[in-house]
Amino acid sequence: MMSKDLEDGKKTCINTVYDECMYGALVGHMKRQTQDEGGCTVPWVMENGAGAQDICKLEKNINITFWEAWNRVTNQKDDCPVPCNTLLVNVGAKNLAVSATLLLPSHVFVKHLPGIGLDRKADQPFPVSIIGPCLTE
């Protein structure tokens, strides 16, 4: 998808690392609401590419930051535009007849749907080359 500017100045999608945008928004919201402790966060957010720096110690702030993360981490509040490049993955299952001599504990099936273009750079390994020895069908 190509990014377009909307009337309110926002973009329809971003070409930057989505996690950096989302974690930056989370950290900003958490720190603004916990100034009595100098601005703190939950321990599991990334801050400037590293783990959390200022973890909340007061119970009140622990609750504030937990619920801030809970209510925003999947972008429910539209803190970040969606990424322009996405990968759609459908996970399903089917019954298989498995040989008793099979040594592998599981199977991975990768299918490329007809009509979907595959666009990748030569220096990026395609998942089949990584998990190829496990593929059957």
- Residue spans of the domains in the chain: they are 13-83
For residue 134, the model assigns a pLDDT of 44
Task: Please tell me the distance from the alpha carbon of residue 101 to that of residue 105, in angstroms, as a whole number.
Answer: 11
Percentage of the chain beyond pLDDT 70 is: 59
Q: What is the mean pLDDT of the chain?
A: 75
Q: Is the pTM of this model over 0.95?
A: no
Mean pLDDT of 20-29: 92
pLDDT band for 36, please (50, 70, 90 cuts): very high
**Per-residue CA distances from 111 to 85, 107, 118 (Å):** 20, 13, 12
Percentage of the chain beyond pLDDT 90 is: 28
Mean pLDDT of 4-16: 74
Tell me how long the chain is: 137
**Per-residue CA distances from 78 to 51, 108, 136 (Å):** 23, 34, 41
